Amino acid sequence: MSTAEPSRDTAALRGSQRAGRGRSRRSATGRRSFDATLKALDALATSGAQVSVRITDLDRGTAVLAGDDHLVLPVGGLGIVPLLIEVAAGFEARTIEPLEIIERSSLAPVALGGIWQHLKAPALPVVDLAVLAAATGDALAANALLERVGLDAVRTRMEQIGLSRSALMDRFRDERGPDDAPHEALGSAGELAAVFAALVNSLVVSAPVSAQVAEWLSLNHDLSLVASATGLDPFTHDDDRHDLLFINKTGRADGVRAEAGVLAGPRAGVAYALIVCFDDLSISHRLRAHEAFRTLGLDLMEYVF
């Protein structure tokens, strides 16, 4: 059974030569049962964790695996994705100048993940802040972008692109008080997988916006969860000698691990999302959650290759 080749725009995001070779993929139907993933996720759920998962075959548009993918759960830094979409849309509409400078001193301090807080540069252009937010989950950069575009604009954009169950609720904070939103962002695995599929299919806002956001996300350094199975260099994902197309974003908070992305190989392509909310009582609890993500990654690699 023949299936559609990824679009040239999608392949170009990774500097891929695959589109030029015109290689067709074969369906992965029936090749993988995801038994190992199901066993790992069932064990997490039995231990009291909340689990939401969705895997969609990009060629057929059908669910490969779905479990409570409608649940709305905290997703941490995955809330950066709709923020990046709004920024890219602002670039296209020319309401935001990519080289507009934002001063770090204008922002409330936040010591969560990222590198801008460690750099000497006191100010950066918006486009560089988008790179930092996508590549390193830079909390200060994300807050700067959110301050620039506004929370209401991001929420409106999310409604427009069909993220009715997801929400960007607040900026990143070192501590959350009683008057603050309890989480930075909420989302469902179903919607997160859908938006990543739409990005690589050039369906989010416009083809240029989709390409820009996917390009930023392709720089993500966090390959420690699902993406650990890809074997990619965390600092450069442009080596496609094995016909691998990959973009992802992770989210982390206390007792929360989440990842969504797209993985495509010579046989198939998938959009995926997994959210796990667990009691982080010990390192073993945390590692058990991480291992479930890695198990999913192995199953996904077997499916696409």
CATH number at residue 129: 3.40.710.10
Structural domain including 118 reads 2-304
Q: What does the pLDDT read at residue 113?
A: 83
Helix (H) or strand (E) holding 145: helix 139-149
Nearest to 251 by CA among 74, 129, 88: 74
Q: What is the pTM of this model?
A: 0.89
Q: What is the pLDDT of residue 219?
A: 96
CB 68 within 8 A of CB 136: no
CA distance 274 to 61: 18
Give the per-residue pLDDT at 239. 64
The whole-number pLDDT of residue 236 equals: 86
Q: What is the pLDDT of residue 240?
A: 66
CB-based contact 94:126 (threshold 8 Å): no
Q: Which residues of the chain have pLDDT under 50?
A: 1-29
Q: What is the pLDDT of residue 111?
A: 86
Which pLDDT does position 19 carry in this prediction? 35
How many domains, the chain?
1
What was the pLDDT predicted at 21? 30
- The SS3 call for residue 204 is coil
Query: Which residues, 6 or more positions from 133, have their beta carbon under 8 angstroms from its beta carbon?
Result: 80, 83, 84, 114, 141, 142, 145, 216
Closest CA to 88 of 127, 62, 50: 127
Give the rounded distance of the alpha carbon of 66 from its chain centre: 18
Whole-number Å distance between alpha carbons of 294 and 226: 5
- Residue 114 to residues 161, 224, 246, Cα–Cα distance (Å): 28, 16, 22
- 242 phi and psi angles, rounded to 5 deg: -105, 20
